[in-house]
Amino acid sequence: GDSVTQTEGLVTLTKGLPVMLNCTYQTTYSPFLFWYVQHLNEAPKLLLKSSTDNKRTEHQGFYATLHKSSSSFHLQKSSVQLSDSALYFCALSDRSSGSWQLIFGSGTQLTVMP
Amino acid sequence: EAAVTQSPRSKVAVTGGKVTLSCHQTNNHDYMYWYRQDTGHGLRLIHYSYVADSTEKGDIPDGYKASRPSQENFSLILELASLSQTAVYFCASSDRGRDTGQLYFGEGSKLTVL
Q: Tell me, what's the pLDDT at A94? A: 74
pLDDT of residue B52: 94
The average pLDDT across A58-70 equals: 96
List chain B pLDDT tens, one digit each, 114 residues. Answer: 659 999 999 999 999 999 999 999 998 998 899 999 987 678 999 999 989 999 999 889 999 999 999 999 999 999 999 999 999 999 999 886 555 568 899 999 999 999
Beta strands in chain A (DSSP E): 3-5, 10-14, 19-21, 24-26, 33-38, 45-50, 56-59, 62-65, 75-77, 86-94, 101-104, 108-113
Q: What integer pLDDT is reported at residue B24 of this predicted model?
A: 97
B106 touches chain A (CB under 8 A): yes
pLDDT tens digits, residue range A33-58?
Answer: 999 999 998 889 999 999 999 999 99
Residues 40-69 of B with CB under 8 A from A: 40-45, 48, 50, 56, 58
Q: Which of A101, A108, A109, A110 to mutate to test the interface with B (most CBs of B within 10 A)?
A: A101
Mean pLDDT, range A64-85, rounded to an integer? 97
- Return the residue of B nearest to A43 by Cα: B107
Q: Confirm or reject contact between B1 and chain A (CB < 8 A).
A: no
Half-sphere exposure of A31 (CA within 13 A, CB side): 28
Of B35, B97, B107, the CB nearest to A100: B97
Among B43, B51, B91, B110, most A C-beta atoms within 10 A, so best to mutate, is B43
Mean pLDDT taken over chain A: 92
Cα dist. A49→A55, A73, A85 in Å?
11, 10, 20
Contacts of A41 (CB under 8 A, 6+ apart): none
Cβ of residue B99 closer than 8 Å to a chain A Cβ: yes
